[in-house]
Structure formats: structure tokens, C-alpha cells
């Protein structure tokens, strides 16, 4: 019988550990889009996973977040076998936050209400000032009372980020954060994610473990991040900046826009 108690974790143990994992998609739940994933993520690491459109980036993040079960293989999050659905392990699941590429907001709720939604369900006694502080931190205070259809896509992404951060996760998954942004928002994300990685005051100076996907690796080259790519249904870890600079794989060069 499987032990369903929360596992204790120490700072030197992987907080994400995948062994020979196969990932499916929501559209085709019985078909593997990425196979043979062997991947470990340590506390406080910064990962950027590159890949072309439809390479499985979003599906990998959905599986990492526990929205999709692995088709095969073993996936442990903080030592707990994923996906976690048991109610008594809810706190373990909430240690991880996910930011969807489009924000995935509810259009009948204001920006403020969307950001507050997780607290409404999981911490109903949370004070309104916590929401206000998060809105100000992410620059959303001026559009807080707007409905999503009345503001641009860039603000949807920020609202999705604020909604994930309001639960103070230890791991943050961010799907293609720079896609479709204008230069002002693009630079804001670069700077803010760097601060989260280093230990932002909103996280009590604790560095967040960050995992994001991208179709362009250039913005992340000087972050000291770990890089990986998805290609032909395979996950390949590349190392850090100096390692990818020496890579001769055509896809790596394409994602770095080197020709």
C-alpha cells in the first residue's frame, strides 16, 4: 500500500525528480508528446526550457504542475509521487504555482477578484491588504477593478503571475512569459523574474525555484540559468550559459537566433 503522508525534504534533495517520464497532452491524453524525461531540479534553481511551437513545452509544465498525470515513469515533487489529488496533501500541492501563457483569467471577475481567487478558496481569512500589496507589486493596481476583456493581453499575463504568487509558492512554473509582450512589459518580466530568483521581499527574501518555457533563449542567457530543449519528443538538458554557447545543435542555434 502506498504511503500517502507528506514526505519531508531537505535542502540538498531534489524538489522535482522525473525518471523516464512520458508526457501527454490535454488534446491527446493517450499519446506521448515527450518521452524518456530524466530531470532533477534542486531548490532555488532557475530553469529555462526552450522549444519550437508544439514541441510539448506547455504539456511538460502541465505535468510538472500535476494537471496531467505522466503516461509512464516516476515523478516526485518534494518527495511525493505526482499527481497529488488527496485532500490531506493539498498543502504539498500548493507549494507549486503555475502561470499560464495567456493568464487563463475568468472574464466575469475583475482583475482583483481573479488574483484573489486562490486565497478565497484556500485562505479565506486572508486580509484584503495582501491582495492590494500584490496588485501594487505587479503594477496591476490601476486596472484592478477592470474586467479582463477591457485590458490588454500583457495585463492578463501579469494577473496570472500575481494569482500564482499570492499563495507564496516555493516553485513557480511560467509558460512562455515573454510571448506577445510589448517592450515595456517584456523588460518588466525580465527584471521581476530575476528578483524572484534572487529572493524578493514578497517571498520573504527566499529565492524561488523558477522553471519557464521559451521560444527564444536570448533573453535568459545571462541569468545563470540551467537550460534544456524539447526536440523530436525528447528532453535534453544543456547545462548553463557557457555550455549552450558551445552547442552546435541546429535547434539551439535557432533558439538563440544564431545563423
Q: Could you read off the pLDDT of 52-79 as tens digits, one per residue?
A: 998 999 999 999 999 999 999 999 999 9
Nearest of 256, 196, 187, 184 to residue 227 by alpha carbon: 256
Residue-wise pLDDT tens digits, 201-248? 888 888 899 999 999 888 887 777 899 999 999 999 988 866 676 666
Q: Is 145 exposed, middle or buried (0-12, 13-18, 19+ CB in 10 A)?
A: exposed
Instruction: Tell the burial category of 106 from Cβ atoms under 10 Å away from its Cβ (0-12, 13-18, 19+).
Output: exposed
Does the predicted model carry a pTM greater than 0.85? yes
Cell of 198: 534572487
Measured over the CA atoms of residue 216, residue 220, residue 221 and residue 227, the dihedral's sign is negative
Q: What is the pLDDT of residue 2?
A: 45
The cell numbers describing 138, all together, are 505587479
Which of 223, 141, 128 is closest to 177 using CA atoms? 223
Q: Does 169 have pLDDT greater than 90?
A: yes
Predicted local distance difference test score (pLDDT) of residue 243? 65
- Per residue in 13-54, pLDDT (tens digit) is 899 999 999 999 988 889 999 999 999 999 999 999 999 998
Rounded Cα distance, 171 and 99, in Å: 11
Going by pLDDT thresholds of 50, 70 and 90, the confidence category of residue 173 is: very high
Amino acid at each position: 500500500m502506498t504511503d500517502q503522508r507528506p514526505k519531508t525534504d531537505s535542502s540538498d534533495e531534489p524538489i522535482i525528480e522525473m525518471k523516464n517520464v512520458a508526457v501527454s497532452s490535454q488534446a491527446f491524453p493517450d499519446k506521448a508528446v515527450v518521452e524518456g524525461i530524466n530531470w532533477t531540479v534542486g531548490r532555488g534553481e532557475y530553469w529555462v526550457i526552450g522549444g519550437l511551437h508544439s514541441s510539448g513545452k506547455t504539456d511538460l509544465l502541465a505535468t510538472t504542475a500535476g494537471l496531467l498525470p505522466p503516461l509512464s515513469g516516476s515523478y516526485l515533487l518534494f518527495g511525493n509521487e505526482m499527481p497529488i489529488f488527496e485532500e490531506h496533501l493539498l498543502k504539498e500541492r500548493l507549494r507549486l504555482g503555475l502561470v499560464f501563457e495567456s493568464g487563463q483569467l475568468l472574464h466575469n471577475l475583475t482583475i482583483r477578484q481573479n488574483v484573489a481567487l486562490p486565497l478565497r478558496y484556500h485562505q479565506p481569512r486572508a486580509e484584503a491588504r495582501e491582495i492590494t500589496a500584490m496588485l501594487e507589486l505587479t503594477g496591476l493596481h490601476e486596472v484592478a477593478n477592470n474586467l479582463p476583456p477591457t485590458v490588454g493581453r500583457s495585463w492578463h499575463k501579469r494577473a496570472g503571475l500575481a494569482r500564482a504568487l499570492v499563495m507564496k509558492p516555493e516553485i513557480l512554473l511560467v509558460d512562455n512569459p515573454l510571448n506577445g509582450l510589448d517592450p515595456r512589459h517584456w523588460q518588466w518580466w525580465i527584471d521581476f523574474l530575476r528578483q524572484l530568483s534572487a529572493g524578493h521581499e514578497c517571498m520573504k527574501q527566499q529565492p524561488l525555484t523558477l522553471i519557464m518555457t521559451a521560444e527564444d533563449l536570448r533573453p535568459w542567457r545571462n541569468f545563470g540559468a540551467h537550460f534544456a530543449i524539447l526536440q523530436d519528443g525528447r528532453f535534453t538538458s544543456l547545462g548553463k550559459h557557457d555550455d549552450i554557447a558551445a552547442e552546435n545543435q541546429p535547434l539551439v542555434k535557432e533558439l538563440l537566433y544564431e545563423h
